[in-house]
Structure 1
């Protein structure tokens, strides 16, 4: 089951100043998320609150240490309770995460029916989807458009737009509609990332990946219509529960590994794996989402982009050594560590986190099993070439690890293994697992300036329209494309 009762938290003062030990990690009152002072690019759709960091009994492991747990009396943290300041996703060419990314600014023209863009992203200027917006839908071929959907609730907001819960008119079908402003995309010079996200989503069909159903555009915005997964983010549930028992974390991790392995088999790196990008469906299964930083790759090639979320970045990304799919397995290791302990292994300010990821030995809590220690050490090996999952066996190296011995991978992929935890979901339209700061907001959209490309064009994204084929048509595809 899930460790969730506050009363079960025991804190004992130890010898020496400011040293606390806890057997489980539980947040108390939810703190508000702290925004960064630096220029960051957030591709997550919904932000959760930050958990509380407390000290735990830790074991210090080096690269050559045995997997068995070893008790340590080393003082690890000086402060008993520190709010973890969670970073947002970012992308850029710089090797210094703390640097602002210098991007050319876009000239924004005021157009009829739209307002001049404001510099304060948090300013809640709102305007309904206009008749002009609906009437100017750009369709490369017949499909659906904005007027085919009824907007129900706002459920999130990111750097380029908002996410709405919508109903397809004339049906009971509920979807999540990701609405991205073209002017913001072009201003940040991120059009290729948006196109890549749409293209990648059309190629992926997996039981633990959120599916793209439709995509289209209007004069001012891009729209991605996806499955509405309303069990909440993994981070949302992790925050409420404190941490997961190994049995539950094993199922979530196995489902994530199955999805990531499928991506890699199709030549795709996710590059932003973190709890905020894992949703839980009503049955409790993990669903991978948000492909805003995903990239298609070829074997034996490396990417030099600085991208991801700092606490989950692999050492080779921070060191600008070039990265490949091995960086995803590092992030899976960080995810597993956080599920089992309640916090990422490397925390602090930006500079300290970077130094810890690159140099610091991994400290593993003694309450975890030796099998969990062994798996975490394999996934969090600082040398990408020696990381578990990068050898000749690929993802099978991870699946065959002794920690996953209880997992029947065939049954897992058939969704026949039921997680012990099911989120509280009261029907298709339930929004109880989304932050009320979004769901209590009026379903209005921000004004957008006319998108203008560097060459003076009007920002049409060619080939963006998409309608997912019916299942029987998908079955006709060659197996290699699935």
Structure 2
């Protein structure tokens, strides 16, 4: 087995490789920004020309014409421009400052963080590093710790004394030692919503937003790199390509054991493979039932056991027990088998059945696995030339990275990507229940119960993405698809972006009727933009059309900036639904429900969702309002008909753009 020094050296090599790859992505995104600036200038000139000539129908891209009669529903395409992303590899070289603390102080901070609704979801290693990096502050009685309306970047843990919280001069509460306050400031840059004043002399521990975000992003990068190195040391995984190894690393789970715990019992069945990340285990074997177990060996950090389970031989042949505290990385056989399967398939292993949908510069084909006709997939096909011409390289790379990493029950899965001289291919989960947009078009609008179910699916999807620092940014019925059970999933992550917890991103992104005002005004946006879009979605599902709609994009943006309070809600939208919509669509992002201290829990506890079975939704035991008819893996009755792609075969030459696809 390799030494710890070898592991550290390999980790540094991996970090350097990631830095070089991210540098290339940055260059591509810079090129994207430049071309998007030109596109915006040309679009402005075009808008001005069409307005002066009273062009009928306004701008065609992403627009919707206002009519008194019910409009004919047409699919909307999003438009976007993206700034240069921060290079996460640079975080590996940032030096974090540790501040000395007594054992009592460390325990108090640690306990306070674990009791906090937000902080308790962090990993133990991240919490420990935050404890190390918090610095001390002392203030006298009467001093202001936080002033309402000021910009804030610090989160505090109170160790000694007492503070009072007021808002608009009215007392809200007092805070005693051992509590966290001000945590909103480490998620994003916003003004303080209340004033905190010292009632006595106080001692505080604090950490700023930049330090917190550095810890979160760096620990994730280092942990993933370590997992990759562990996997590379295991023979069963050595033949897998890097992207598949990365996928397996993402699904590794940490399991902790105490002294004497049995990790594996001889004779038992199991489908789990273990890699030791901390501690030691003892391996023993009992040759007959009336004999004592015989000691075989001791395994330690970097060693593995249970590999026969990956091959299907799941009767354990030895005992493995913990010697002291032990932490193992666990891989399930089903996940590993899936990774191996998709790493070995090629484009030639699939047969194209028909076209499920056509987008701006892509089409989605239903494909069937030749070796197993019971399995079908959705193959998204993108033209390299079109991607280059519209400078969408950055978005395609981002879409791939995010979909390979984020495997949630309410998001469509990406299994594998391919490329040839002319096209990029994305092999995805096939959801044959059809698009929610199609169902909404047929019915005109949904009643409360139906809308609640589909909104619940979307809330779960957004919660899954947001906790990983991912903004979706293109929520609309066109991007919600139903599986064969009738459950809704988000699809098309072309404009999603991983910005990290509390980070913001700039420049326009989204579909005009759904974009938040801070995007229009280029103030920078974060996950709160998805909360705004969720409010727009609920309104559209209940009424049949979005609340903000103009004759052209610019007109739509101006209507959005007037605010949700200027919208006259139709009677079919209940008061409780209207209240939720208005709270989601607050002009100030920090005031939006779903973007406050309790996150999506505030949405789930809203009166409109009263009595809704969230656990049944997560366990898929809740009956959907509509169950699509799907009679097999090739049943496409729930999709519109599209002509076949009749283009000539691709030429025998490369397009000049070679992605890591």
- TM band (smaller chain): 0.5 to 0.7
Q: Which runs of 5+ in 2 are unaligned?
A: 1-55, 84-240, 245-342
Aligned equivalent of 1:150, options 343, 351, 354: 351
Residue 80 of structure 2 is aligned to residue 91 of structure 1: yes
Q: CA deviation at 1:229?
A: 0.9
Aligned equivalent of 2:629, options 417, 421, 424: 424
Q: CA deviation at 1:228?
A: 1.1
The TM-score normalised by the length of structure 1 is 0.67
Q: What CA deviation, in whole Å up to 9, does each residue of 1:30-85 have, x standing for no partner?
A: xxxx9985677x9xxxxxxx9x988xxxxxxxxxxxxxxxxxxxxxxxx3444466
Contact 1:182 1:220 in 2 (8 A): yes
What is the alpha-carbon distance in structure 2 between the residues aligned to residue 148 and residue 206 of structure 1?
26
Q: Report 1:47-446 matches (<5 A).
A: 79-83=68-72, 87-92=76-81, 143-171=344-372, 172-349=374-551, 350-360=553-563, 361-436=566-641, 438=642, 441-442=643-644, 444-445=646-647
Change over 3 Å in CA distance of 1:222–1:258 after alignment to 2: same
What is the alpha-carbon distance in structure 1 between the residues aligned to residue 498 and residue 385 of structure 2?
25
Change over 3 Å in CA distance of 1:239–1:170 after alignment to 2: same
Aligned to 1:407, what secondary structure does the other structure show?
A: coil
Q: CA deviation at 1:140?
A: 8.3
| RCO higher in structure (CA 8 A, sep ≥6) | 1
Q: CA deviation at 1:447?
A: 5.4
Contact 1:53 1:83 in 2 (8 A): no
Change over 3 Å in CA distance of 1:391–1:162 after alignment to 2: same
What is the alpha-carbon distance in structure 1 between the residues aligned to residue 366 and residue 71 of structure 2?
34
What is the alpha-carbon distance in structure 1 between the residues aligned to residue 654 and residue 77 of structure 2?
25
What is the alpha-carbon distance in structure 2 between the residues aligned to residue 226 and residue 285 of structure 1?
17
Change over 3 Å in CA distance of 1:256–1:327 after alignment to 2: same
Q: CA deviation at 1:262?
A: 0.3
Aligned to 1:243, what secondary structure does the other structure show?
A: coil
Change over 3 Å in CA distance of 1:82–1:289 after alignment to 2: closer
Contact 2:550 2:559 in 1 (8 A): no
Aligned to 1:179, what secondary structure does the other structure show?
A: strand
Contact 2:413 2:429 in 1 (8 A): yes
Q: Report 1:467-478 matches (<5 A).
A: none
Q: CA deviation at 1:318?
A: 1.0
The equivalent residue for 1:460 is: 658
Aligned to 1:363, what secondary structure does the other structure show?
A: coil
Q: Which runs of 5+ in 1 are unaligned?
A: 1-33, 43-49, 55-78, 95-137, 453-457, 465-482
Aligned to 1:364, what secondary structure does the other structure show?
A: coil
Change over 3 Å in CA distance of 1:187–1:143 after alignment to 2: farther
User: Structure 1 residue runs of 4+, over 6 Å off?
Assistant: 138-141
What is the alpha-carbon distance in structure 2 between the residues aligned to residue 374 and residue 220 of structure 1?
50
What is the alpha-carbon distance in structure 1 between the residues aligned to residue 463 and residue 368 of structure 2?
32
What is the alpha-carbon distance in structure 1 between the residues aligned to residue 57 and residue 650 of structure 2?
23
Q: How large is the RMSD of aligned CA atoms in angstroms?
A: 2.7
Q: CA deviation at 1:391?
A: 0.8
Q: CA deviation at 1:451?
A: 5.2
The TM-score normalised by the length of structure 2 is 0.49
Q: CA deviation at 1:408?
A: 2.5
Aligned to 2:386, what secondary structure does the other structure show?
A: helix
Q: CA deviation at 1:144?
A: 2.2
- Alignment length, in residue pairs? 346
What is the alpha-carbon distance in structure 2 between the residues aligned to residue 294 and residue 177 of structure 1?
19
Greater fraction helix: 2
What is the alpha-carbon distance in structure 2 between the residues aligned to residue 403 and residue 152 of structure 1?
42
Greater fraction strand: 2
Q: CA deviation at 1:186?
A: 2.0
Q: CA deviation at 1:427?
A: 2.4
What is the alpha-carbon distance in structure 1 between the residues aligned to residue 403 and residue 479 of structure 2?
14
Change over 3 Å in CA distance of 1:381–1:148 after alignment to 2: same
Change over 3 Å in CA distance of 1:451–1:181 after alignment to 2: farther
Contact 1:53 1:343 in 2 (8 A): no
